[in-house]
Structure 1
């Protein structure tokens, strides 16, 4: 019996029937599987602008498959739009707001299953987290990447605009940015390239929570509409089969997802998002350690911009996530169950890339070295993350770096110091106070990274931050998402100007060369946390967010 069906004659049955009859539903409708169509539509950003049409199509096909669809709305954060407020604190924190939006709408109404329209960076991880928390039949539908434009004859997308805008303001730069922004985005969908959104769509398929062959996909393309129809039909069947997320998202599934993420050079944000999904699914696994472990033996099979020369369109045409997984057969757990009701191995039968240069085999990879490095040491005892590229997109990057620290409590202070000439070659720029609790909500530190690049300091300085970095690639040696963060009295809070910092990429080390007794003296002198003055959502977030090694999920402290 469906959990949404109540005993006739009861209060719950009678009041709900009165409500739904007024919506035009029949008694026969009310006995069908009730499916939430989770939609993060918004007029604020182009990545969400087509979702209402997708939702309408999905609802139509759910009805045709014998289900009863109900659209459930959530908040719709876009990194480029919502990072304007509170130093970017509303971006990561919105991920967990979406999770709670879904819980209220779906669990409160006791619906039987949900199909989630995955779009911009925080929607897919939030939807996977909600699936793990609620544990009702769930399917993610990737709603696609946006078409990019050109700037003076060269490829130009939203990330190119962002990187170019990190230069020093001038009339010339303003003119170039005006021209670039005219054509960088030509339609709806998420950022092109192997950024967080496309990475998380691929991760969802690797986890078994999106249908095989559905990621990535061009927004509004015939392929996207076919996948929408297929997913709508499948979610009704999943409810009837009672196929639940916790049956799919097992430890084996997380290992597969991490392996696939490493093989495509995915966004570093996949690390914390997968940890959060594991936490909500109650799978006891250390995702950071998993990336470090699997990175050693996982070949890079694709190199999509900015990791390498290919576009997301070429990757899609070559077979996307399914083709990559086929090439990784020997490294995956093929018995892991997926949303099809069959195993990973079954889903990959007969699959091969359509272009062996874009998606390569394990004996001819782009590189055998991981693009995501996990550094540990006295400055990053719980880890810090470095993102590399295969074609020099990260600029000059020495393998080791030792230099004096220059410490800044926030990105704006660091940008001001750079403008004043206070940052020089040989320095290690430490930007702190940007972690999930410190901001709160996790602030971006990418502007200082790219400003240093525009100042000609890439490879001549290093950057260490407890903040969030671009999901794509960074310039020079950049260690991000340092754990514990400064707000949790991590070692990054104890660094002082002039302290020697040592980074060794081959050995995965990030050390602060200060005696232990001196660090303890400094720790004892840290001010108490105290009140921060926020009200509203961010005050709730600061009080309840856990550390990044726990996925920055919300839990009572």
Structure 2
């Protein structure tokens, strides 16, 4: 862990052409002159701006422009902005393919690259701008490792497609086609209009979930998580981020001052009220580990018991993020939660003020809005993020249960090794009502990469099986997944977990009330199966997936790659 404080004073000495003892740094100054620095710029704090721009996904296609606005904001506030890039991948494009194995890996690459560039260049402060799912936690982890004054900016949400469609509409249309409800032409018509332009996927999927969590955590400016990608509000957010990081430099406020245990608890509560993605469990634990905050699955259990689900937002609800933006975003919700004593208002934020100070003048939602339910009429009285344990998941599993799916499912296992086999079984009619689809060998190590099961879950919904089958996996889910689904099962199959010992026909019980997930097989039979089990050979022996498989921790500890390096 790098605990260095801001290198501002060192940088000013190093780069100033007016300081005699800085003569040895003339080569560095010469390099910087070539990229546009003047003598005056050498006297200013350098603000690194990590841009995740790329044309591989609409989530990030506009972020180059946002980075330039953030640079202008930093420059106007007395700093010298320096833009650099890190990577992004597209979950929506990669889902259902071998390429999706790189998705979780990309979170670690983003964190590593921000740390590497900022650590090498000695930036005094940092701004990171993220769009697609893994950008958000990856950026935060990178900022937190350096522990220099930093602000995160969310790239913003996409507008709905024609007919109130989005990317999940397309995935579910595939299942409806398999059921015979949609023609190929109708699927194409949905595909052509569902993604109308820049911005992250439009429901309370992982991108909007993590943007909301980071705002509640205090690491982005108020309102950043609930703005359309193409809007004057988002441009203003980027401009203000440049100003804010300069203010943080003056106040000497760093990520570790903001990312406290109480701040993470605030973030968890906001994620629950919004009906956020199961990926938030992985990412918040991973982010907390980066700053040595002790956050684990039991914290989600404890907090979830008293935190209601209030937002009627996709995938399990009706509305889209842009519609929440139109009524005020998450700030009025947070103000309601603060007034009810649910949030710790003393937590510091990137404004330099506390959460309570930021929310003091926030106006409530319009009286006629139908998106955020009142506390006395919740969609679910406690958390939809249900942590389960039992002989199938001795170290824990994460379910997304809003109550619409029911609270208990018991059925016969239909076991598949890998996502592709499961998807084929769903689409060809092999999976029938009463089945518990078991997808093993998709964990962080065994996949490797812990792919999302969006294609199988969407196919289940599209085929009309959402209330009559369940799906469990040692992989994970897209924020767009819904239905009776359980992921992050640990230990994973590759590590000898019981999910790898389950056989087709076994009886499986999933109970959200007792928080149990178990297979009705005796300990003696499980021992016999375990004795016959052989760990599969690694699927990759070179490259980034092989490195990830060797380094990654379990899902229950955030699936991070630097946990066991001490």
Structures share a fold, TM > 0.5? Answer: yes
SS of the residue aligned with 1:209? coil
1:318 positional shift: 2.4
**Unmatched runs of 5 consecutive residues or more in structure 1:** none
| 2:129 corresponding residue in structure 1 | 117
| 1:372 corresponding residue in structure 2 | 385
Q: Which moved more, 1:271-280 or 1:182-191?
A: 182-191
RMSD of equivalent CA atoms: 2.1
1:442 to 450, 467, 488: 450
In structure 2, relative to structure 1, the CA distance for the partners of 1:456 and 1:143 (3 Å cut) is: closer
1:181 positional shift: 2.0
In structure 2, relative to structure 1, the CA distance for the partners of 1:171 and 1:384 (3 Å cut) is: closer
**Unmatched runs of 5 consecutive residues or more in structure 2:** 1-7
SS of the residue aligned with 1:354? coil
* Whole-angstrom CA distance in 1 between matches of 2:540 and 2:184: 36
| 2:4 corresponding residue in structure 1 | none
Q: Is the 8 A contact 2:172 2:461 kept in 1?
A: no
| 2:261 corresponding residue in structure 1 | 251
1:485 to 480, 489, 492: 492
Q: Is the 8 A contact 1:263 1:298 kept in 2?
A: yes
Deviations 1:481-506 (A, max 9, x none): 21221112111112122222111122
1:171 positional shift: 11
* Whole-angstrom CA distance in 1 between matches of 2:64 and 2:357: 33
Q: Is the 8 A contact 1:87 1:444 kept in 2?
A: no
Deviations 1:511-530 (A, max 9, x none): 12222233233223322454
* Whole-angstrom CA distance in 2 between matches of 1:510 and 1:155: 36
* Whole-angstrom CA distance in 2 between matches of 1:305 and 1:425: 24
Would you say how many aligned residue pairs link Structure 1 and Structure 2? 547
| 2:479 corresponding residue in structure 1 | 471
Q: Which moved more, 1:42-51 or 1:83-92?
A: 83-92
Equivalent residues in 2 for 1:345-494, closer than 5 Å: 345-356=356-367, 357=369, 358-389=371-402, 392=404, 397-419=405-427, 421-475=429-483, 477-494=484-501
| 1:55 corresponding residue in structure 2 | 67
Equivalent residues in 2 for 1:307-346, closer than 5 Å: 307-329=316-338, 330-346=341-357
* Whole-angstrom CA distance in 2 between matches of 1:491 and 1:119: 36
Q: Which moved more, 1:532-541 or 1:27-36?
A: 532-541
Q: Is the 8 A contact 1:375 1:385 kept in 2?
A: yes
* Whole-angstrom CA distance in 2 between matches of 1:323 and 1:418: 42
In structure 2, relative to structure 1, the CA distance for the partners of 1:271 and 1:432 (3 Å cut) is: same
Q: Normalising by the residue count of structure 2, what TM-score does the alignment of the two structures yield? A: 0.92
| 1:226 corresponding residue in structure 2 | 236
Q: Is the 8 A contact 1:353 1:359 kept in 2?
A: no
Deviations 1:116-169 (A, max 9, x none): 11211111111111122111111011121111222xxx3111221122123455
Q: Which moved more, 1:531-540 or 1:202-211?
A: 531-540
SS of the residue aligned with 1:46? coil
